[in-house]
A and B are shown apart, each in its own frame.
Chain A
Amino acid sequence: MGVTSNDGGWSPYLAGALVGILAIVSVYATTTLLGKSTYLGASTTFVRAAGMVEKTVAPEHVAQNTYFKKEKVVVDWQFMVIVGIFLGALISSKTDKSFKLEAVPPAWEERFGPSVGKRAVAAFLGGIVAMIGARMADGCPSGHGLSGLMQLSVSGFVALAMFFGVGIVVASLVYGRRMS
């Protein structure tokens, strides 16, 4: 098992194992420092961020919405994790020189051409559907997938199976045509 992959990154086994250690340290740190065991996740932050944006145009509406009340529109621990992911990835890619401005992903271009508009519409619509689903299921591949499976949660296993199961079917319908 090599330590680096052939593109200068780390072996996914190594990087993944380190994320496992990070997850353990993170639960321990939140328990001792913040008084509550908190697990890694990402999608709730999108609710809070959406609430913050909506607040600028319709503050009363956000204040009355039951879901925003439940999830609380504040910059909390998880919100800063997401900010940190952006910065950590930026720093890491700048230091190993893999940072690259990219308008359309290579695999997308391969299948649908270089049009930024097409990619934008698909990513936007996909994003809407995915987030409605993630909020309904109460988690994403981080919250359900990583944190859920680490705790042996039934919900985590079922949710991850649905994510990948349906993802595989839809991906082969959308992108798979030229492979057959």
Chain B
Amino acid sequence: MSTAQLLGLATGLAFGFLLQKGRVLRFDKQLGAMLLKDMTILKFMMAAIMVGMVGIMLLADMEIIKLSHKPMNVGAILIGGALFGGGWAVMGFCPGTSVGALGVGRCHALFAIAGMLVGAAIYAELYPAMKSTVLAWNNLGKIGLPEVFGVNKWVIVALFWGGSIALFRWFERIIAIGNIRGRLQAPLFCARRPAVASRTGGLKGNVPPHPAGWPQWSCR
């Protein structure tokens, strides 16, 4: 194996390990995120981005690494993004998690992987037509938020951190409220229920069970 392949394999091993530990490989978690019932995926992604952006911005500032923005190709990102979102919701996996899901024994991910391979082959045939239409409409190029808004990148990093922390606090509050009042139908945002309930409401040992509806599915 070449250095590139070995390095890729090592990176993937660690990535797959963490995806599995964070429990984000599951269909139920992916769907739960899109039904706004289980925020595991969002917490996971935002925590990764928060930490990653600080290191990457520092290394880029020190000119140790180079940023590599994907082009902001308006038509392609809007249409492609919408198609992806729709397919993702039905399939319940994204490209990276589908292979991980197969690794943890979720055999049905094979159908999703087969579909994505066929989709890639179809896109390869469509590419010449895309190049002269969707991809050619309005390409704003490889741009980053700091240039667009004319502010220092650390301002955006700070805003992202602040916004994420506020969102996390809100998620955890909803768990507590949902459990205290039993108002929410599903086991909404349900990781670490008792701890949160006891922190916010002193309800230790007295957390009512989730109401019926979508029984426990996003909890396991």
A residues sitting closer than 8 Å to B (CB atoms) are 1-2, 5-7, 9-24, 26-31, 33-34, 37-40, 42-43, 45-47, 49-51, 53-54, 65-68, 70, 75-93, 96, 98-108, 110, 116, 119-146, 148-159, 161-172, 174-176, 179
Cα distance A163–B117 in the bound complex, in angstroms: 19
Min Cβ gap B21→A in Å is: 4
Which B residues have a C-beta under 8 Å from some C-beta of A? 1, 3-28, 31-36, 40-41, 43-53, 55-57, 59-60, 64-73, 76-96, 98-109, 111-128, 130-131, 134-135, 140, 142-146, 148, 153, 156-157, 160, 168, 185-186, 190-193, 195, 213-214, 217-220
Other-chain contact of B99, A20, A86, A149 (Cβ < 8 Å) = A86
Cross-chain pairs A/B with CB under 8 angstroms, 24 sampled: A13-B168, A19-B19, A24-B51, A24-B56, A49-B120, A66-B127, A80-B1, A81-B15, A84-B10, A89-B20, A100-B104, A102-B106, A104-B108, A107-B27, A119-B111, A127-B116, A128-B116, A133-B81, A138-B73, A149-B53, A153-B72, A158-B78, A170-B90, A175-B35
| A29 CB to nearest chain B CB (Å) | 6
Decide: B217 and A110 in contact? CB cutoff 8 A.
yes
Complexed CA–CA distance, A151 and B106 (Å): 32
Cα–Cα, bound, A153→B85 (Å): 19
Residue of B nearest to A158 (CB): B77
Please give, as numbers and ranges, the residues of chain A lying within 8 Å of B108 by CB-CB distance. 102-105, 116, 119-120, 123
Cβ–Cβ contact B86 & A166, under 8 A: yes
Q: Are A30 and B7 in contact (CB under 8 A)?
A: yes
Choose among A17, A84, A171 the residue that contacts B15 (Cβ–Cβ < 8 A): A84
Given the known inter-chain contacts A85-B99, A144-B70, A162-B82, please indicate yes or no for A28 contacting B65, CB distance below 8 A. yes
